[in-house]
Structure 1
Amino acid sequence: MDTRLYPYIREPLEDFTLRSHACLIPHLKMPAYARSSNNEKLFTRPLGVNEKYIHIVSKLTPSPERRGWYINSFATLKPRGTLTCSSLPAILRKAWCHLRYQQPSIAAYLTADEQNLAYDVPDAKDREEWLSQSFIVDRESENARAVIRSPRIPLYWTCTFVEKSQEVLCYTAHWRSDGIGALQLLDSLFALVANAGLQDPEELPWGEEVGRLALNIEDIAEVPVDANAEHTQFAKKCLETFALTEGAVGIPYLDAEMPGGTQLARTTFSEETTKKVIAKCKEKGFSVTSAVNASVAATNWSFAAADRKNQHYTSTARFSFKPYIPSPYNGPAYASALLTTGWMISVSPDQSWEDHARYYHTIYKAGLSRKFIDSYRVYAGAICDAVAQAPKVVSAAAEVDISSLGIVEKYLERDYGSGDWGLEILDVGEGVETLGRSSGLFVWTFGDRLVFSLAFNERFHEMEQMEAFVKAVEENLVRELLID
């Protein structure tokens, strides 16, 4: 990789990544939540530094009724057999209670000092109270998108069944989970719904679930507690990549001081075009995500104001820790855990679309190095220190970033149960609460169709602009890949 082509890259790529995923961490017994000395039903653990970072960022908004980066994941359901539309809300509620037993971290919450996570082993009354706060049947909203626009700061994960559109919307703070985890949680929920013989939650051995509470990534990955000089220096280099956001291209935005609701602009490719995109990318030797990243960069420049078209484009190189950690933490049993990371990368408008696609592919293919993992406490801690000083104002950044979920069917089935009692998943969607001028294009395939979904804030961008943006990304991708 000739980094001279990319003058905004401050360090060689190999310093941040490793071309092999051979640094899988050995499975060791991890420390559990600690039981309170004053309350035998209360268990707590400190927030990890990665969780702290995301939590601090979520509060960097002037809005008192919204939090940034909270995750919305939703799916459209079609019940089958004796599982009917009318019975679905009650079955979902029962399954949601079961899911708490399977994955108790959905009911973990921040303590008052916001330094610890807490979990209460519930009795019957506690479970009903939790269900009243976390499971909602919405009979008024037209669809999940309408719910997403509304202000919410829930204490726990929430599950909303939107009756008119037959959609299930799960919502949580990003410090509790990530994009892949949110899909895996939906998968677990739908598997429970599709179990016609699901027992009464009251019969479950409550208390045993404490052993399944999710730990922080630093403990799971055995990141050294005491950093050495090499870790500190490497973490500094990672942190310095955030300087690449300064002076980046961005797109025009509306002036506003207070954010409104998050909206989604979306385009879906045909199956035929999706097949052609995949084939062309394979032929050229780079991934679909890398190609889309190059097209997002190109569209940022296309939409930029005339005096900014020569600025560099910065995006986030996002990675999951899942390939590098042991079972069961790398699987769906720990869907409610924050297992994602990243750093900033940048490209110049002077290079070609294909140069950009190959550059992104090199980064995504390389993955995470053991050095990065070993330095992670220092790196995430340094980010915490930096963002803790930031004012609660709308960020000046206005770029469109990218986040790829890959093939959704790796995490979420398209069909559950049997012909007599089952579910078909007609559609899925995901995004994050977006409270600034910047926005994020989420990319995935589902049902053999490529989907772009752009999460943006309605106070800073109009739907017309953002629908045009996602369409322009689609057109750029098809054009650059020479697809008829």
Structure 2
Amino acid sequence: MATTWTQTSPGVYQANLDGAETVYRKTATVFAPLKREHWRLHTICRFNFGPGYNGPTDKETALRQAWKALRYEFPGMTVAPDRSKKIYKTPDARTTKEWLEQTFFVEPKRTADEIIAEAVPLQEVPSLYYLPATSEILFFISHWRIDAMGSWMVTDRLFHHLANPSKSGLPKVPPPNEIEKISPSLEDAAGSPKVSTPEMDKVAADHIAAHHRNAIQMGGMPYKGDAITLPGSPKREAVIFTRESTQKVVSACKARGITVTAAIHAALAETVFAMGLPESREHDYVTVMPVNLRNYLKTPYNGDGHALQTYAGSITPRVPRHATFAKRTSYLVEYYKTRYDPKLIECLRPIYRYHAEALFKPLPAPAAAPEGTPATSNGNKRPPPGLPSGISINSLGVVEKYFAGKYGDSVDVATFTFGVSMITRQTMLYVWTWKGELTLSSEYNAAYHDPEEVREVMLSIKQVLEKELEIEQNRKREVEEQKEQP
């Protein structure tokens, strides 16, 4: 089901932002007055040319050509938001050249982390930075127009174009019918009816009510500042397992019939119980967990040809406080399998409509405190109501499933990093495996958390994994066996 575009003037088309797009767009604009964009996605890759590369030897020139080819492949790159609408303008030679100049940047001095941390206005169009000093690219894109998996697939296509430059060159003007290639919204791609039935409305309302009821119970972590502390720069800390350690985690999970995602999720819960705010230690651990919905969409929307869209949902698993690691992981494995079904996919349109209404409805005025009540602060420990400081987990799986990283003998990607700008007190824990190495990567805001604190959380997760999966015991046993050998 294609999105309906209406021509409002010669060469200018508009369509409504659908429900999922609206949720992510409004979330991005919350901190616009502070020149911050919440949940702006970024991908960082260091690459090198191989012996088989036959394009321009100058990397800047080659990347410009690949970036332009990417824009021709995904015309949605030029779609601009306008309140509740999205606008597409038929390009010509001038606007195509201007787009390239306004979205491709060479950064000779700053690091990728420094660029990410800088306060910038909303990224109304995707952008690409080239860092010649480190041979890295930094791909920026707003979450309302893409999800994590999609951004990987788009980056993969960028490197594909870099490795396979067009011998005949690209035309100065994209084809006139390129609007037909713009990917439909999640709701349209899922075939969710424009007009829902009473049954669909009930399914959606019940789903969102349960979702928000669970979400507000997210455990909190200690944070710096108080209720009026303004956000600072988005930051990242990562813990990378060795290939040997990664393989031991994978093997131990397989032996127990659980997934690596469930094991890390349960280890995170145990860490929150141990290190979180007092109330987080007393109740079950609940988190909002993103879900890749591309697996639920029919061809062609589940492929890389429609990478440039937000085809994602979320779930709210509850990890029991008083349960063994084995019971927690088995519960999570089953929950992941059954949480989405064809009925929920059909109801995505009313689900996101109710979701937006619940998220953005005006907050009630706070009740006045009795006269004589002393002023209090959270003492850097207990957040006031409505200021969540929990940790969400997003397990992205094996990177190579969506992002090849090696393109014949022409281009090889040496390093891969993915993240999102966090402007709130919450932390996002990403989990992925790249080149056989498991990565825990935490995105946080420097105004509320210190890097040592964030790293301590991830090291705790690692320790819980090693203990519960008996990796440390097996390692000690191997060492003892080696000592006993003559």
Moved more, 359-368 or 122-131: 359-368
Contact kept in structure 2, 1:238 and 1:343, CA below 8 Å: no
Task: Quote the residue 2:44 is aligned against.
Answer: 74
Query: What's the CA shift for 1:126?
Result: 0.5
Write the letter of the residue equivalent to 2:431: V
Moved more, 285-294 or 247-256: 247-256
Contact kept in structure 2, 1:178 and 1:340, CA below 8 Å: yes
Task: Quote the residue 1:102 is aligned against.
Answer: 73
Task: State the alpha-carbon separation in 2 of the partners of residues 246 and 203 from structure 1.
Answer: 51
Q: Map of 1:229-244 to 2, 5 A cutoff?
A: 229-240=198-209, 241-244=211-214
From 66, 90, 96, the counterpart of 1:121: 90
Query: What's the CA shift for 1:368?
Result: 2.0
When the two structures are superposed, what TM-score results if normalisation uses the length of structure 1?
0.88
SS in 2 for 1:258: coil
From 399, 412, 423, the counterpart of 1:435: 423
In the TM superposition, what whole-angstrom CA distance separates every residue of 1:243-282 from its partner, at most 9, and x where no partner exists?
2233432210001521111111101111111111111111
Task: State the alpha-carbon separation in 2 of the partners of residues 364 and 120 from structure 1.
Answer: 41
SS in 2 for 1:202: coil
Q: Map of 1:169-184 to 2, 5 A cutoff?
A: 169-184=138-153
SS in 2 for 1:201: coil
From 81, 88, 97, the counterpart of 2:59: 88
Write the letter of the residue equivalent to 1:366: T
Write the letter of the residue equivalent to 2:458: V
Query: What's the CA shift for 1:236?
Result: 2.0
Contact kept in structure 2, 1:248 and 1:311, CA below 8 Å: no
Task: Quote the residue 2:22 is aligned against.
Answer: 52
Task: Quote the residue 2:5 is aligned against.
Answer: 34
Task: Quote the residue 2:390 is aligned against.
Answer: 399
Give the direction of change, closer, same or farther, for the CA distance of 1:34–1:308 in structure 2 (3 Å limit). closer
Query: What's the CA shift for 1:237?
Result: 2.0
Question: Is 1:483 the counterpart of 2:471 in the alignment?
Answer: yes
Write the letter of the residue equivalent to 2:444: F
Q: Map of 1:253-268 to 2, 5 A cutoff?
A: 253-256=223-226, 257-268=229-240
Sequence identity percentage: 23
Alignment size in residue pairs: 447
Question: Is 1:206 the counterpart of 2:175 in the alignment?
Answer: yes
From 146, 156, 159, the counterpart of 2:128: 159
Write the letter of the residue equivalent to 1:295: A
SS in 2 for 1:36: strand
Q: Map of 1:53-452 to 2, 5 A cutoff?
A: 53-61=23-31, 63-81=33-51, 87-111=58-82, 114-142=83-111, 144-152=112-120, 153-202=122-171, 205-240=174-209, 241-256=211-226, 257-306=229-278, 308-366=280-338, 368-389=340-361, 396-418=387-409, 422-452=410-440
Write the letter of the residue equivalent to 1:200: G
Moved more, 225-234 or 214-223: 225-234
Contact kept in structure 2, 1:266 and 1:467, CA below 8 Å: yes
Task: State the alpha-carbon separation in 1 of the partners of residues 260 and 124 from structure 2.
Answer: 37
Give the direction of change, closer, same or farther, for the CA distance of 1:32–1:207 in structure 2 (3 Å limit). farther
In the TM superposition, what whole-angstrom CA distance separates every residue of 1:20-56 from its partner, at most 9, and x where no partner exists?
xxxxxxxxxx3355352422x2222211111111112
Task: State the alpha-carbon separation in 2 of the partners of residues 92 and 208 from structure 1.
Answer: 25
Query: What's the CA shift for 1:141?
Result: 0.8
When the two structures are superposed, what TM-score results if normalisation uses the length of structure 2?
0.87
Task: State the alpha-carbon separation in 2 of the partners of residues 394 and 73 from structure 1.
Answer: 34
In the TM superposition, what whole-angstrom CA distance separates every residue of 1:62-121 from its partner, at most 9, and x where no partner exists?
75301211111221112224679971111111111111110111111112xx11111222
Decide which structure has the larger Cα Rg and report it: 2
Structure 1 gaps of 5+ residues are 1-29
